[in-house]
Amino acid sequence: MITIYTIFSAMRFSHQRETIRKIVNSTNSHPTADWVFSRAKRSIPKISLGTVYRNLKRLEKTGDLRTIYDGSIARYDWNTKPHDHLKCKECGDLMDVHLLDEGIRSDVKKKYKFAVDDVKMTIIGTCQKHK
């Protein structure tokens, strides 16, 4: 008797992944993997950091979130629509803003013969809190 199973791996449900997705979706703070990890431990005490990293990567691949780099460390953003960031060098906060319109993409194409996929902009400075 022969049983045939699917050849290509399907993504299975996991409580860990769902928890991680909800955590990232619930904040505007662009959290680090470690922050997501400590939050996830509240509901899944035995979750491991590796699981957090693996699923954050997975969720990026499926388009549920995007990774942004703050200096050398990765932060995760539920907002996958094009937008920019204000980075406060006093408190480290990273805030969403929308500065670049669609026009700049076609500008770049014309000027530099470069196939544009994404435009990343971060404004470094000091936020209102510090004055």
Among 12, 81, 110, 111, binds DNA (CB under 7 A): 12
- Tell me the closest approach of the beta carbon of residue 129 to Zn ion, in angstroms: 5
Among Mn ion, DNA, Zn ion, none, the one that 90 touches (CB under a kind-dependent 5 to 8 A) is Zn ion
**Residue 63 makes contact with DNA by CB under 7 A:** no
Backbone angles phi, psi at 67, to 5 degrees: -95, 135
Backbone angles phi, psi at 97, to 5 degrees: -145, 165
Sign of torsion over alpha carbons 125, 127, 130, 131: positive
- Tell me the closest approach of the beta carbon of residue 18 to a second copy, in angstroms: 27
| Contact of 124 with 89, CB cutoff 8 Å | yes
**Residue 99 makes contact with a second copy by CB under 8 A:** yes
**Amino acid letter at 4?**
I
Among DNA, a second copy, Mn ion, none, the one that 10 touches (CB under a kind-dependent 5 to 8 A) is DNA
Distance CA 85, CA 119 (A): 12
Beta strands 66-70 and 73-77 are antiparallel
Residues written for the chain: 131
- Tell me the closest approach of the beta carbon of residue 30 to Mn ion, in angstroms: 6
- Tell me the closest approach of the beta carbon of residue 43 to DNA, in angstroms: 11
**Residue 48 makes contact with DNA by CB under 7 A:** yes
Span near a second copy by CB under 8 A; candidates 2-10, 27-35, 58-66, 101-109: 101-109
